Amino acid sequence: MALRGALRIVEHDAMVYRRTWRGGIVTTILGPFLFLASMGLGLGGYVDRGGSAAVLGGVSYLAFLAPGLLAAQAMQTAAFESTYPILGRIQWDKTYLAALATPIGVDDLVWGELGWIAVRLTFACGIFLIVMAGFGAVHSPLAVLDLPVAVLTGLAFAAPIVAFSATQRRDSGFNAIFRFGVTPLFLFSGTFFPVDRLPEPLQPVAWITPLYHGVDLARALSLGRVDPLPAGVHLVVLVAFAAGGVALARAAFRRRLRV
Amino acid sequence: MPAAADPVPTGPPPTVPSGAPTGVPAVLATVPEPLIRARGLTKRFGRFTAVDAVDFDVAPGEAFGFLGPNGAGKTSTMRMIGCVSPVTAGSLSVFGMDPHTDGGRIRARLGVVPQADTLDMELTVRENLLIYGRYFDLPRREALRRAAELLQFVQLAERADDEVEPLSGGMKRRLTIARSLINEPELLLLDEPTTGLDPQARHLLWDRLYRLKQRGVTLVLTTHYMDEAEQLCDRLVVMDKARIVAEGSPRELIERHSSREVTELRFAPGVQESLGGRLDGLADRVEWLPDRVLLYAADGEAAARAAHGRGIRAESVLVRRSTLEDVFLRLTGRSLVE
Ligand SMILES: Nc1ncnc2c1ncn2[C@@H]1O[C@H](COP(=O)(O)OP(=O)(O)OP(=O)(O)O)[C@@H](O)[C@H]1O
Ligand SMILES: [Mg+2]
C-alpha cells in the first residue's frame, strides 16, 4: 500500500518530465563530454606531465577525475531536483494538497519524490558512466557499482534538501544552498584534487560532507582499488545522510501539510 | 425554473436537532447511521480556535450546507471532514470511520473541491484528471475514459490538451470540479464551488450537482450565495465565530429567524441618517444597512403604508418575501456576500 502511493507520485513526476525532458537532455549528455574532454584530457595533459602520479596514486588525471565528477554531478542533479520542483508543489501550485485529498498520504509524497529523484539520478549518472567508459577513464569492472554509489550520493543530498525545501515559502533560501553548499563541496571534496592537499584544518570539514565519501568510494571502485574499511565507512555515512534526511523530510512535510 | 424547485422528497434528515442534549444515543439507535457525525468537533491553530465544539450530522443522500461570514470556520470544518486536517478535539466519523486511523480509506470515497484551486500547473487539463484518477488507483484506461467524460460534463473538452495556467478562473474552477468526480465519490465536499463562475456556469453546476444528488451522492457545501444554499441544500447550518448558531432547512430557518415579509426602504442621500427613531414600532424588527432600511413584518405592505402614514418618504419601497439572506443578517449581523 505504502509503496503503491509512492509509485503514483513517481508516475506524476514522470508525467511532468515527459513534457519537459527536451530542455535538459542535451546538457545531461553533453555535460559529461565537455567536462571530461576539457578537464580530464585538456587540463589533465598538463597535470600528468607535471609529475603528479604520486599524488594521484599512479593514475592519469582523467581516471582520477572522472569518478569524482560523477559523484559531484549526482550531487548537483539531486540538489536541483530537491529544491524548485518541491517548493513549487508545496507552496506555489499547492498540488501536494490536491494529492493529499486522495488516498495518497504524506509519506507517499516524500518517498515518491525521492523515488523520482533516484530515477533521474540513475539516468543522468548512467549516461555519465557510459561517457566515462568511452573516454577510457574506467580501470575496473567494479565501476558498474559506481552507478548505485552515485545515486546514493545524490540521495544523501536530496533527502535533507527536500526537507529544507518543505520549510521554505520563497526560493531565496536556495541561493544559500547552492552558493555555500553545493559549489564549495563541488570544488573541495576531493573531486579535482585529493582532500589531503587541502589546508590541514579544512580536511575534517571535507570528511563530514557526503560528497567526499561519494567521490572517494566511486573512485576506489572505478580504479579497482577498494579497501573494505574506508569503503564501509563511506557507505555508512552516505546511508546515514540519506536516512536522516528522509526522517527530516517526513517531519517537515507533515508539519507543513497536515495543518 | 430553478432546478431544485421540485426536489425528490429525500425527507428531512432523521437527526438530532442542533442544541439537543448529546447524551441520548438510545433514541438514535433506530435511525440510519449518519454519513458524517461530529460531536464537540474542535479545531485549533495554536491558541486560536477556528472551530469550537460543533455538533452536526449529515445523512446519506442529503445536501448539507455551511453558511457563515468570512473566518467563521467553514473551511476548517470541511478540511477535517476531508481527512486532510487533524481534529484537535471532539469526535468525527465519516462513513462510520475515524479520520485519524482510516483517513486513506475515507478519502478513497470522497470528492473534494477545495476553496482555493490546487490544479497542477505542470500538467495539461486532461493529465490533471488522469493523474488524479491514478491517485485513486484507477487503471490508466479507465482514468482516461472518465477524464474524457468529465471534461464533456464541465464543457472543457476542447481544452483537454491545453495547459492549465491560461484557463480563465471559471474554467479552472470547472476543472477542479471535474477532478473531484474522477473517483465517482459517494460524498462530495464543495468549498465555495461556484465562487468565480459566471451565472451560466453556476446554473450548469447546480444542475450537475442536483443530478449527482439524485443518484444518491451526498453533498456537503459551503457558500456565500443564499440562492445557491436555497436551491441546493436540504438542510444547512449557519456558522459564526467558530460555532454553529442555527440549523434547519432553508424554509425552517426563515420561519424561525425572520418574518414572513420584508419591506426595503431606500432613501435619498443623507435622509436615512436623519430619520432617528421615527421607524420604531413599525415592524417586528428594523435593520439598518448602510444603503437601506429593512422592516421585518408579517405584512410588508402594511408596514410600508404605516411608514408612509408617519410622513416618511422613501425613494423606493420594495416588499418581498424573507430569504436566507435575512436570516443570515439576523444571526451574524453581517450580509452574506461582503
Ligand atoms: N492554517 C491556519 N493557521 C492559522 N489559522 C488558520 C489556519 N486556517 C484557518 N485559520 C483561521 O481560522 C479561522 C477560520 O478560517 P476558515 O478558513 O475555516 O474560515 P471560513 O469560514 O472558511 O471563511 P471564508 O468564508 O473566508 O472562506 C480564520 O480566522 C483563519 O484565519
Ligand atoms: Mg472558507
Query: Whole domain around residue A182: which residue ranges?
Result: 2-257
Which of helix, strand or coil describes residue A258? coil
Instruction: Give the closest-approach CA distance of B268 to chain A in angstroms.
Output: 48
**For residue B55, pLDDT beyond 90:** yes
Which residues have CB under 6 Å of ligand 1? A 259; B 45, 48, 50, 68, 70-76, 115
Give the model's pLDDT for residue B140: 97
pLDDT value, residue A19: 86
Grade residue B282 by pLDDT with cuts at 50, 70 and 90.
Answer: confident
Least confident of A132-146, B220-234, B323-337: B323-337
Inspect the interface and report whether the beta carbons of B132 and A98 lie closer than 8 Å: yes
B230: left (phi over 0), alpha (psi -120 to 50) or beta: alpha
CATH assignment of B259-321? 3.30.70
- Residue B111 alpha carbon to ligand 2 centre in Å: 17
Band the pLDDT of B6: cuts 50, 70, 90: very low
Question: At A145, which helix (H) or strand (E)?
Answer: none
* Res. B28: pLDDT tops 80: no
Q: Report the pLDDT value the prediction gives residue B303, as an integer from 0 to 100.
A: 92
Least confident residue range of B24-38, B105-119, B130-144, B214-228: B24-38
- Asked if A227 reaches chain B (Cβ–Cβ under 8 Å), the answer is no
A9-18, A104-113, B148-157, B274-283: least confident range: B274-283
Q: Do A94 and B84 touch (CB under 8 A)?
A: no
Residue contact A100–B84, C-beta within 8 A: yes
Highest mean pLDDT among A67-76, A183-192, A196-205: A67-76
A222 alpha carbon – ligand 1 mean position (Å): 57
**A17 has pLDDT over 90:** yes
Please check whether residue B262 is in contact with residue B326, taking contact to mean a CB–CB distance below 8 angstroms.
Answer: yes
Average pLDDT of chain A is 93
* Contacts B103 to A, Cβ<8 Å: 105
B95 lies within 8 A of chain A by CB: no
% residues pLDDT > 90 (chain B):
71
Residue A144 reports pLDDT greater than 60: yes
Percent of chain A with pLDDT over 70: 100
**Mean pLDDT (whole number) for A140-160:** 98
User: Which of B313 and B188 is assigned the larger pLDDT?
Assistant: B188
- The pLDDT value recorded for residue B29 is 52
B136 CB neighbours in chain A (<8 A) are 102-103
Write the DSSP symbol of residue A166.
Answer: T
CB proximity B168 to A under 8 Å: no
Average pLDDT of chain B, as a whole number: 89
Chain B interface mutation, best of A102, A106, A254, highest count of B Cβ atoms under 10 Å: A102
Provide the number of structural domains found in chain A: 1
What is the SS3 string spanning chain B?
CCCCCCCCCCCCCCCCCCCCCCCCHHHHCCCCCCCEEEEEEEEEECCEEEEEEEEEEECCCCEEEEECCCCCCHHHHHHHHCCCCCCCEEEEEECCECHHHHHHHHHCCEEEECCCCCCCCCCEHHHHHHHHHHHCCCCHHHHHHHHHHHHHHCCCHHHCCCECCCCCHHHHHHHHHHHHCCCCCCEEEEECCCCCCCHHHHHHHHHHHHHHHHCCCEEEEECCCHHHHHHHCCEEEEEECCEEEEEECHHHHHHHHCCCEEEEEECCCCCHHHCCCCCCCCCCEEEECCCCEEEEECCHHHHHHHHHHCCCCCCEEEEEECCHHHHHHHHHCCCCCC
Q: Which residue has the cell 471559471?
A: B170
State the DSSP code for A171: T
B30 pLDDT band (50/70/90 cuts)? low
**Exposure on the CB side of residue B80, measured as CA atoms within 13 A:** 28
What is the reported pLDDT for A201?
87
- Single-letter residue type at B296: Y
Residue B112 in contact with partner chain A when CB distance is under 8 A: yes
In chain B, domain spans: 36-254, 259-321
Q: Do A8 and B135 touch (CB under 8 A)?
A: yes
The more confidently predicted of residues B279 and B122 is: B122
Judge whether residue B136 has pLDDT over 50. yes
How far off is chain B from A233, nearest CA to CA, in Å?
39
| Whole-angstrom distance, CA of residue B218 vs CA of residue B221 | 10
**10 Å Cβ neighbour count for A41?**
16
Share of chain B above pLDDT 70, in %: 89
Q: Percent of chain A having pLDDT more than 90? A: 76
What is the third-level CATH fold of B36-254?
A: Rossmann fold (3.40.50)
